[in-house]
Each structure stands twice: as C-alpha cells, then as structure tokens.
Amino acid sequence: MVNDMKDLSVELCGVKLDNPVIPASGTFGFGREHNEFYDINILGSISIKGTTREARFGNPTPRIAECRSGLINSVGLQNPGVDAVVAEELPHLRSIFHKPIIANVSGFSIDEYVECCQKMDSAEQVAIIEVNVSCPNVHNGGMSFGTQPEMAAEVTRAVKAVTHKPVFIKLSPNVTDIVAIARACEEAGADGICLINTLLGMRIDTMRRRAVIANKMGGLSGPAVFPVAVRMVYQVSKACNIPVMGCGGVESASDVIEMMMAGATAVQVGAANLKNPYACKEIIESLPTEMDRLGITSLRDIIGIVE
C-alpha cells in the first residue's frame, strides 16, 4: 500500500505529531461534535476553541456572511472562560483524543494573556500554547496587539515569562509588514509563529441596504485567502528561525503540501471544517496518494523546499 511507504510525521518544538494536519481554533470546538462523525485520533493535533479569561457570549447575530470563495465570521470569541475550559473541556477532550493538544488563548490586556497562558501551561493535556494577538487591546484604543511589532513582542515576552511549554504567536494578516512582526515575536522569545488569521472583510445586503453582519465587518476565511496565507508563510519562514504553522484556506492534501513547501511545519484547516465535518479526515487519508503522485516519501523533506 502507498500508506506504508510514506512518512507523514512532523515535529513542532519537540512535540511529535503523526501528521501535520490540525483543525484550526474556532472551527472544531473542543472536539466533541466531530468525534461523533469519526475517530478524531487520526488528527495530528487539535487547536481548541479560542479561550479568554472570562466567559464570553460573543458578538450579536447575524455573525456569518457567505462569500463566493469563503465566508466572513464575527463570532466574537464565544467561550466558557479559561477556568471552565481547564476544568471541564480539556479532561473531556483527553478522554476522546489521546494526542498533544494546542491551547488557543486570546486576551484584551497583557494581564489577561498572562493569566490564561499560565493556566493553560499548567494543564497536563496541553502541549503547545497558541497566542492569538488579533484581539483589540482595550488599554490602547482597541488597536490589535498583532498590528505593531512592539505590541506583539510585549505580549510574547509577558507570556513566555510565565510558561514552560512552547508558545506559538498567531499573527493577523491585516498588516503592512508581516515579517517585521514575526521577527519581533521571535526576538521576544516566541517558539513558533502561526499564520494567518482571517482577513478583514464585509458584505452588504443590497436589498436591505445594510451590512449582513451585525458587527458590520468580520474575518474572511476560506479558499479566497489561501494565496495570501502561502505568501506570508513563505516570507516568515525565510526570515525567521522558528517553526511556522500555516493556516488559511486549506481544503485539500495538495494545499497542505503547497503550504509545507512554502515553509510550514504543520498546517491548520479552518473554514473547510464548517463546510464538511470530514474535511481533516479526508485530507489526511489522501495525503499518501498525493505524496506518491509528487514523488515525496517524507513530508519533513519538503518543508521550506521552495527557494
């Protein structure tokens, strides 16, 4: 069989994964729902739903707007809060998923990031902490932490001071120079970079003459953003010496390989899960065939192969 000859395994900061495919935060919940469709242990890892200090109901509805090549969402980090996640969601996930878990953390102040990361760092089930710096800084007029190198570095330094596990900073693509921000995070001690988060988008209901989403704007994800994600993964992986997790519009095994050739060590699948709950399973199962077609025996051999 093709599968017997192919090595799909990768390693992120000493954390070994059977394959590079990871459901992206916010598209897979805490694993419960998808485990009803298939055995989620086929996955390389899971990036759990974005977690904040306090429980959040999220943004007003409607929160979703469809687009020709993706969707716009403005869910607003709906989650039960970090204490409930650590006490209830992580133990349940561990009972159905027996591999390393990635905890996605968000915050509206440095103190909130620090507290959430501290609690996730002490959770036995968590192997990697993914810090989303696309949140608005409430102490700085609502500007996203990830839009300026100095602010992204400040978050990185603060969370690295209270954690022992690898920290990946998830960056926003809504910036002019992604490389400057990634380098600032690396210099501040980040163990890895995850990119991209969603691009800011908007849809208008022309009949009603108003924005489709209650918040007016939201994050565009899906195949439309894939070329932007590949470009940013390529730029950052060439400029930095820490691993990159690629994310944005991935829908197929071919997309995973393209993202890895651009420089990603692991690849997250987001919007595709919302359209097809079997997306990650199908991608993993078709990877050996795609590798065979391209003459690839080990995925680790193609990471950053494009000059």
Residues labelled as active-site residues: 135
| DSSP-based three-state secondary structure for 104 | strand
Torsion angle defined by CA atoms of residues 83, 84, 90 and 96, in that order, rounded to the nearest 10 degrees: 170
Cβ neighbourhood burial of 110 (10 Å; 0-12, 13-18, 19+)? middle
| CB proximity list for 101: less than 8 A, separation 6 or greater | 45, 46, 48, 90, 93, 94, 125, 126, 127, 128
> Which ranges constitute the DSSP H helices of 18-140?
32-35, 82-84, 90-96, 110-121
Euclidean distance between CA atoms 148 and 79, whole angstroms? 26
Degrees (nearest 5) of the Cα angle 265, 136, 251?
35
Phi and psi at 154, nearest 5°, equal: -65, -45
What whole-number distance in Å separates Cα of residue 166 and Cα of residue 241? 14
- Joined together, the tokens standing for residue 40 give 């989620």
In sequence order, the 6+-apart residues with CB closer than 8 A to the CB of 44 are: 10, 17, 18, 19, 20, 21, 22, 99, 266, 284
Q: What's the residue count for the chain?
A: 307
Residue bearing tokens 């994050």:
219
